[in-house]
Homo-oligomer: A and B are copies of this chain.
Amino acid sequence: MEEKNCCIRTKHRSEKEMKDLTTRLSRIEGQVRGIKNMVEEERYCVDILNQVLAVQAALNSFNKELLANHIHTCVAEDIRTGNEGAIDELCETIKKIMK
């Protein structure tokens, strides 16, 4: 992690990784727009619900990927360089995910 300025933290990712992440998000954005269309077309509740579950699964899969990359790069690097704060933040993040 680098500090671009006082408060925004950044992380450089490979072009391939960034492309993969934004592609997934574009698809998810399209899915959400599709659900909005379903509501406007008065589609049946259960059919809308199932589409929302699909988006949640896609976001969950996105987060798994991002978190695994984060641990392999940022966290591992921070631990090696003695930055213990990274571990605390990781634990906080995992606790939020586990609710």
Residues of A within 8 A of B (CB): 1, 8-13, 18, 21-22, 25-26, 28-29, 32-33, 35-36, 39-50, 52-53, 55-56, 59-60, 62-64, 66-72, 74-76, 79-80, 84, 87, 89-91, 93-99
How many copies of this chain are found per oligomer? 4
What are 9 A-B pairs at a CB distance below 8 A?
Answer: A1-B44, A9-B47, A10-B43, A26-B36, A50-B93, A56-B60, A60-B98, A64-B95, A97-B97
Interfacial chain B residues near A10, Cβ < 8 Å: 41-44
A29-B32, A35-B25, A36-B26 are known contacts. Are A53 and B63 too (CB-CB below 8 A)?
yes
| A98 in contact with B63 (CB, 8 Å) | yes
Chain B residue with the shortest CB-CB distance to A42: B10
A28-B32, A39-B18, A56-B59 are known contacts. Are A50 and B13 too (CB-CB below 8 A)?
no
